[in-house]
Structure 1
Amino acid sequence: MELEVRHLRALCAIADAGSLHKAARQLGVSQPSLTTQLRRIERALEGELFLRERTGCRPTPFGRTVLGRARPLLAEMDALVAEARAQAHGPRLRIGSTASRALPGWLRRLHRRLPDTETTLVVDVSGNALLRMVAAGQLDVAFVHEVEGFPLRVPEGLQVRVLMEREPQFVSMSPDHPAARNDVVHLRELADDRWMVDPSVDGEWDGLRRVLAEAGLDPPLLHADYHTAASLIVSGEAVAPCQPTSGAREDMAIRPLHGDPLAVRLLLATRPGSHAEAYADLREAYREVALSTPSYRAWLRRAGSPLLESA
């Protein structure tokens, strides 16, 4: 078996994700397929690259040596492809983002500012994956959120600007939930509820578990993506953290949490000296959607947020 670029990319994905399950999801393949591919690579190199543990995978000393050679090769290959495509297709802006209601307004502003530039968008639940794509030359900018207490792994050489130092996370629940009668919800009011979290979102599972533990709560946790979970929340089967910009729905109540125990930091990452205009447009797009959400607008006013000031 001859090693190819895709094999090196798979090894780096496993090392960065820390588990075959997460790496397979990021690569868009099944876990059994990725496991089989890893075994073939290890046979070809005649050495074990990862230690399989209960909590995930970590590189062996031999694996770290291979990864140390693979990463620069992948970076050079990605840069070559990016430069070739840019010359072939003309001006292009490749955007990556975790989920946000600010995306449509951001794209609209960028299209208006750069009418002759082709814009592409990649949405991923993993901020770490998007940052790696910027570092590798696969994306030009990435808008990501970082769960408080669980920092993202920012590759060396990226320029990172802070959009929101601390964005509170609200809670979504059935409108029939007793706590939905209140404008602000205490965690103790949700002590008997099942909490839903997407473990593939970097830091989300650990952040929620820490906050609940600090409040003395140990509720059952459900693992699912947030789109699938909406039906569980509406039916009263679960509650879940949500972004404060989440739009109002008749079948779902969204409330701030007392003391704002859950929070994220919003970041925009680029390569140094590039696409400075993207930050200003993102800030205005985020401000627009924040002020259009009554509960979040009220929170920003109570906090005296500088976001209330127009650029």
Structure 2
Amino acid sequence: MRHLRALCAIGDTGSLHAAARLLGMTQPSLTAQLRRIENALGAPLFVRDRTGSRPTPLGLTMLHRARPIMAEMSALVIDTQAEAVRTAGPNLRIGGTANRVIADWLRRLRLRLPTTDTYLRVDVSASTLLGMVAAGQLDVAFVHEVEGFPLRVPDGMRRRVLVEREPQFIALSPDHPAVTEPEVKLAELADDQWMVDPSVDGEWEGLREVLSEAGINPRILHGDYLTAASLVAIGEVVTPCQPTSRPRPDMAVRPLAGDPLAVRLFLAFRTENGPAPALIDTVYHELEAAYREAAWLAVAYRQRLLREDSPILRYDGQTRGRT
């Protein structure tokens, strides 16, 4: 089934890179898996060119046979999970891309819904999580969408926007010269080495576009953001970060002048055979409360939102700290 899922992903997206993101794996791993499948069959299934990956005649035959099997398996999983819910009591399956609010969101949901078994799935790929919601494997997913690189939201799903445009800040060493300013200009980071996680949907593409428009061509390292934080601490790299990130003794967090990097935050769920509207309201309101708390605790972000009189910090028409 794993091989069939990989072949269908390549066939559906027309790209090994896009298929790897959809499957939540690296492109080299998917390429190696495809090579093993083709070696076992003794013939190529896809032809790669500048436009992507096109199925060969044998590949088309395989996809024609594989897609109904995958559809049946998906239906089986959904039916089995639905039966499990009926027999085991209420449960809630939430997913999210890495975000500072996830832990508090989960805590709030467990307090608000004490008789509900709440399951959490965190993934670097928003596309993977959206696919799981569409397939009935998750009830909701809280994801971010890099500005300029929209996610493909499957049919039959709705999104409820939490933050239309969240500016991304920059994490840098406390010894960095730019730390003395309340905002950091991209030009001040032209000589720095940057680090970005290319497995996060749109992350590398968005950063590359912003740097190119600023006329900056720095050295880029690819890796996860946990590693990036360690390298920031010793002054090796700078890296984009969420504005809700809080500074540490070994890491400073500053806004970028002009907010060139931004994401949209939204909650996605199915419109049919999904959670009841009342449950969606509860899930969204607890997410909103968790985000408000995280924004308040992040000093630089809080100051920005207060200056703008942002509705993000408002609760029942009042702004926290000004009541």
TM-score normalised per structure 1:
0.88
1-structure distance, mates of 2:33, 2:171: 35
- Deviation sequence 1:102-151 (CA, Å, 0-9, x none): 11221122112222221111111110111011111111111100000000
Q: Which moved more, 1:203-212 or 1:231-240?
A: 231-240
**Within the alignment, does 1:22 sit opposite 2:20 as a pair?**
yes
More off after superposition, 91-100 vs 171-180: 91-100
Partner of 2:24, secondary structure, is: helix
* Number of equivalent positions: 303
User: What 5-or-longer segments of structure 2 have no aligned partner?
Assistant: 317-323
Q: Any residues of structure 2 matched to 1:52-201 within 5 Å, and which?
A: 52-53=48-49, 57-60=52-55, 62=57, 63=59, 67=63, 70-71=66-67, 73-88=69-84, 89-201=88-200
Are the aligned partners of 1:110 and 1:278 in contact in 2 as well (CA < 8 Å)?
Answer: yes
- C-alpha distance 59-112 of structure 1, shift in aligned 2 (>3 A): farther
Tell me if structure 1 keeps the 8 A contact 2:184–2:257. yes
Following superposition, the deviation at residue 26 of structure 1 comes to: 2.0
In structure 2, the residue matched to 1:310 is 315
The equivalent residue for 2:4 is 8
2:144 match: secondary structure = strand
The 1-side partners of 2:290 and 2:121 are apart by 18
Normalising by structure 2, we get a TM-score of 0.85
> Counterpart amino acid of 1:59?
R
Letter in 2 for 1:6: R
* Structure 1 Cα separation of the partners of residues 64 and 160 of structure 2: 28
Q: Runs of 4 or more off by more than 6 Å in structure 1? A: none
Change (3 A) 1:68 1:110: farther
How far off its partner does 1:27 sit?
5.3
In structure 2, the CA distance between the partners of 1:65 and 1:35, relative to structure 1 (3 Å rule), is closer
Q: 3-state DSSP class of the match of 1:131? A: helix
SS of the equivalent of 1:257 reads coil
Q: CA 1:79/1:223 → structure 2, altered by over 3 Å: closer, same or farther? A: same
Distance apart, 1:36 and its partner CA: 3.7
Gap regions ≥5 residues in structure 1: none
SS at match of 2:208: helix
The correspondence for 1:296, drawn from 293, 301, 311, is 301
Give the Cα separation in 2 of the matches to 1:117 and 1:41: 46
TM-aligned CA deviation for residue 237 of structure 1 = 1.1
How far residue 297 of structure 1 moved from its aligned partner, in angstroms, is 0.7
Give the residue type in structure 2 aligned to 1:190: L
RMSD of aligned Cα (Å): 2.6
Mapping of 1:198-237 within 5 angstroms? 198-237=197-236
Deviations 1:41-92 (A, max 9, x none): 765xx7x44223478x523375567557745653442233233233233322
Q: Per the alignment, in what secondary structure is the counterpart of residue 266 of structure 1?
A: strand
2:22–2:128: 8 Å Cα contact kept in structure 1?
Answer: no
CA deviation profile, 1:224-268 (whole Å, cap 9, x unmatched): 111112221111111000000112201001100000000000011
Alpha-carbon distance change, 190 to 50 in structure 1, aligned in 2, over 3 angstroms:
same
Specify which of 269, 281, 291 is matched with residue 286 of structure 1.
291
Q: CA deviation at 1:32?
A: 6.4
Q: Does the 8 Å contact 2:14/2:54 carry over to 1? A: no
Distance 2:31 2:56 in 1: 24
**C-alpha contact (below 8 Å) 2:254/2:300 kept by paired residues:** yes
For the 8 Å contact 2:23–2:128, the answer to whether it is kept is no
Q: Per-residue deviation at 1:293?
A: 0.8
| Farther-moved stretch of structure 1 (19-28 vs 237-246) | 19-28
CA contact (8 A) 2:168 2:263 kept: yes
